Amino acid sequence: MTLATLSDVLQPAQKGGYAVPGLVCLGWEDMRAYVAAAEAERAPVILQAGPSCRAHTPLPVLGAMMRYLAESVDVPVVVHLDHGYTLEECRAALDAGFTSLMYDGSRKPLAQNIDETARVAALAHAAGISCEGEIGFVGYAGGDASAGTDPAEAAQFARESGVDAMAISVGNVHLQTDHEGGLDEPRIRAIEAATNVPLVIHGGSGVPYAQRAALAAGSRIVKFNIGTELRMAFGRALREAVNADPGRYDRVAILKETHDPVMEAARAVIRNLGASGRG
């Protein structure tokens, strides 16, 4: 069994000059492909259950599926709650076997965010697992705008919340479907100068590949969350499978054809972050 906590995989990444992908899961087909990709690349991987995933499948089911997959391979697999919004939700994920809890209080005033995140961090650490927090709101493509992370607030947040990893807002955007943006590297360096907590980028799909690779190798950003580009790979494969034979209705046969394209897309993400051979 290779079930791991977030700290188990991020601490070596920070020392080794690479980043670990936080792969956003929506169901069995993609999470299975992600674990197959990690095993093929001999890399650690973080399976993430975000709000849309949890709206579709209950936390206990997700925890069981992800833990089963972790037991099926011999590379580190983290079972991670992404964007938990309440202490109760984080506790439910802990009870469901998750090994990492991400509490998102980024929309709240700094003091409230610190206080609530610290409670989740204490809950996680008492159980021997990890906690990620977020300081500076990361917006959404076509939706709410981002509020960039203030380096001084990041230092206070890291110091007082007790998180094991800190998600920051430095030009990244959730649900971006192209790679034409770019992260604010001077702001990243200012945050790095203020704290030594491992850093996380949400909305990593919108970051240009070259910048992702460079920051993975040469910054304290050790986790990039990747969802949109993998969902796009799944969607393309599913459309091809459905359209190839309009008379076919067997969902298992159709969904099976998404496995290899999604696995290859996930392998490309792993290689781009320098995580291959690190598992």
Residue 42 lies in a domain: yes
How much is the average pLDDT of 160-186?
A: 82
Residue 141's pLDDT is: 59
Q: What are 49's strand-pairing partners?
A: 25, 81
Residue 142 has pLDDT above 70, yes or no: no
Does the residue 193 lie in any domain?
yes
Residue 60 located in a structural domain = yes
CATH of the domain at 150: 3.20.20.70
Rounded to the nearest integer, the mean pLDDT of the chain is 93
From residue 130, give the alpha-carbon distance in Å to each of 106, 127, 138, 163, 217: 18, 9, 21, 8, 23
> Is the pLDDT confidence value at 1 over 80?
no
Domain of residue 140: give its range.
3-272
> pLDDT for 2-33, tens place per residue?
899 999 999 999 999 999 999 999 999 999 99
What is each CA distance from 137 to 47, 85, 114, 197, 264, in whole angstroms? 22, 13, 14, 18, 31
Q: Which residues have a Cβ under 8 Å from the Cβ of 137 and sit 6 or more positions away?
A: 106, 107, 144, 146, 147, 169
Contact of 127 with 95, CB cutoff 8 Å: no
Q: Is the pLDDT of residue 248 over 80?
A: yes
Say what the pLDDT of residue 34 is: 98
Residue 237 has a pLDDT of 96
- When pLDDT is cut at 50, 70 and 90, the band that residue 220 belongs to is very high
Is 250 known to be catalytic?
A: no
Q: Residue 278 falls within a domain, yes or no? A: no
In the set 82, 104, 150, 164, the catalytic residue is 82
State the average pLDDT over residues 244-249: 89
Q: Is residue 91 part of a domain?
A: yes
CA distance 249 to 242: 9
| Domain membership flag for residue 279 | no
Q: Report residue 138's pLDDT band, with 50, 70 and 90 as the boundaries.
A: confident
Which pLDDT belongs to residue 173?
Answer: 72
User: Could you tell me the pLDDT band of residue 145, with boundaries at 50, 70 and 90?
Assistant: low
**25 within some domain:** yes
pLDDT of residue 75: 98
Q: How confident is the model at residue 269 (pLDDT cuts 50, 70, 90)?
A: very high
pLDDT in tens, 109-131: 999 999 999 999 999 999 999 99
Classify residue 98: in a domain, yes or no: yes
The pLDDT of residue 118 is 98
pLDDT at 206 over 90: no
DSSP characters for the chain?
--EE-HHHHHHHHHHHT--EEEEEE-SHHHHHHHHHHHHHHT--EEEEE-HHHHHHS-HHHHHHHHHHHHHTSSS-EEEEEEEE-SHHHHHHHHHTT-SEEEE--TTS-HHHHHHHHHHHHHHHHHTT-EEEEEES---BTTSSPP-PPPHHHHHHHHHHH--SEEEE-SS--BT--SS-----HHHHHHHHHH--S-EEESSGGGS-HHHHHHHHHHSSEEEEEE-HHHHHHHHHHHHHHHHH-TT---HHHHHHTTHHHHHHHHHHHHHHTT-TT--
pLDDT for residue 204 is more than 90: no
- How many domains is the chain partitioned into structurally? 1
Q: What's the Cα-to-Cα distance from 154 to each of 77, 104, 106, 150, 165, rounded to whole Å?
A: 28, 14, 11, 6, 11
- Residue 177's pLDDT band, with cuts at 50, 70 and 90, is low
Burial (CB count within 10 angstroms: exposed 0-12, middle 13-18, buried 19+), residue 171: buried
